[in-house]
Every structure is written in C-alpha cells, then in structure tokens.
C-alpha cells in the first residue's frame, strides 16, 4: 500500500516538474496588423503574407546562445486589404516562444496589389521580405501583443509609367 502511494506521489511530482519545464521558460507572442488612415485615392491595398518570423537574441533568457535565431510565428498564407484595416486590427499569428529579448520581425510577402483611381497595379517589393526592427521581450507565462501599424498611404511610391513600389512604413505598437 505504501509502495503504491510513494510511486503515485513520485509520478505526480515528476509529471508536475516536467510540465513546468515545458512552460515556465516560455511566453506567448500575438501579432496583429492594422493600417493608419491616409490621403491617397487608394481604394484597395491587398497584401498576401506567407510567413512571419521573429528574431530571438537569447539575451535575458535561460536558453543558451545556440537557441538564438529566427523563430516562425506563422506559415499560413494570409491576405489583408490594408485599406479596410483603418482603425481595425486583424490577427496575424500567435506562437509560444522562449522568454527573452527579440529584435526583429520579418514578413515574407507572396504578393501585393494596389487599386488607385479604379486601376489595379502590382506592387513591387524589394526582396519580397519586409523587415521591421523592434526590440521586444517575451516574459515567462505572459502574452506579449504587438500590432504592426502599416501606413500604406506613405508606403506606396510611384515610379515612371504607373509602376508602384511598396516601401513599408510600419510602426510597431506593443500593448
């Protein structure tokens, strides 16, 4: 009887300790996307993001520097009309991450189009990767929420012959 009780106690303590190891050094990151209002006659600004990553610097974490590097937040293709996101937030991704300091967000863009004065144009994006430098910290057992606030009106540049380039101006708001 006592042997079974001791085994049960050891199992309960062991399972509790193991599950604590899995979650005590991690926190959650949620990322949203929105757009600031603007003045151009843009009626649609479609952007399809196929991958979102954040860079873990491993500073301030229990993890060693070999854990530093890029961590994937989502690999799901998501399309947003940034014009419809004025004063509205859309969910971009959520992931359980190691606690510590992070310093960059990368958005891998699959495609982008803009409709200006009723005509739709392909937006060119240099390297198809949008890099956002932002220091933020993931804290143990807490949720960190970031909102990527695009200023699409200031981000679109016109070139000769009605070609348009997306040079994103993004403010990161940490809630």
Range of the domain at 89: 26-174
19 lies in some domain: no
6 lies in some domain: no
9 lies in some domain: no
73 lies in some domain: yes
Going by their DSSP bridges, the two strands 100-116 and 129-138 should be labelled as antiparallel
Q: How many domains does the chain have?
A: 1
pLDDT score, position 61: 55
pLDDT tens for each residue of 31-63: 998 876 665 678 899 999 999 999 998 665 555
2 lies in some domain: no
CB 155 within 8 A of CB 45: no
155 lies in some domain: yes
- The partner residues of 113 in beta bridges, in order of sequence, read 46, 122
166 lies in some domain: yes
Q: Which residue has the tokens 């843009």?
A: 42
- The partner residues of 170 in beta bridges, in order of sequence, read 150
Contacts of 24 (CB under 8 A, 6+ apart): 140, 141
Nearest-5° angle of CA 123, CA 84, CA 82? Answer: 30
**SS3 assignment, position 132:** strand
pTM, 2 dp: 0.76
Quote the tokens at residue 42.
Answer: 């843009």
């Amino acid at each position: 009887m006592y042997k079974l009780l001791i085994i049960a106690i050891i199992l309960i303590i062991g399972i509790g300790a193991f599950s604590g190891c899995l979650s005590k050094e991690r926190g959650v990151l949620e990322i949203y996307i929105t757009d600031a209002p603007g003045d151009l006659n843009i009626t649609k600004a479609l952007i399809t993001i196929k991958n979102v990553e954040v860079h873990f610097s491993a500073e301030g974490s229990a993890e060693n520097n070999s854990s530093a590097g890029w961590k994937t937040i989502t690999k799901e293709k998501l399309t947003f009309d940034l014009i419809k996101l004025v004063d509205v937030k859309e969910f971009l991704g959520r992931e359980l991450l190691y606690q510590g300091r992070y310093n960059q967000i990368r958005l891998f863009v699959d495609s982008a189009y803009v409709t200006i004065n009723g005509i739709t144009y392909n937006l060119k994006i240099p390297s198809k990767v949008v890099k956002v430098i932002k220091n933020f910290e993931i804290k143990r057992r807490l949720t960190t929420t970031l909102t990527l606030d695009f200023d699409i009106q200031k981000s679109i540049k016109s070139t000769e012959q009605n070609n348009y380039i997306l040079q994103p101006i993004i403010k990161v708001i940490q809630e």
